[in-house]
Amino acid sequence: MIFTKLARIVAWLALILGASQMLIGFAIAAEALGPYEQALARYAPGAANSGAVIDRGLYVLIFAIALGALAEISRSVRGSRE
């Protein structure tokens, strides 16, 4: 039961992190946060371009969805046993 609850918490945090990374990537690409190079250096240090930031956010979102689905499966299986 503790792992199911922990997985749900981690899934929610990953969902928030992934969505924020994608939003930052799109904001950098649209130059909403300032000039492209300066915004990239400030908000995504180490990233080659805004596409890399968007990709990283998408991968985290996919992980969050998969982990959340597994947590829901675990919760429903545990509920049917009791």
Q: Map residue 44 onto helix, strand or coil.
A: coil
Give the burial class of 64: count Cβ atoms within 10 A of its Cβ; 0-12 exposed, 13-18 middle, 19 or more buried.
Answer: buried
pLDDT in tens, 2-16: 999 999 999 999 999
- To 10 degrees, the CA torsion angle through 59, 63, 68, 74? 160
Q: Does the predicted model carry a pTM greater than 0.85? A: yes
What share of the chain has pLDDT > 90, as a percent?
Answer: 90
User: What does the pLDDT average to over 41-64?
Assistant: 96
Integer Cα distance of 35 and 80 in angstroms: 55
The domains of the chain are located at 15-81
**How does pLDDT run across 10-40, given as a tens digit for each residue?**
999 999 999 999 999 999 999 999 999 999 9
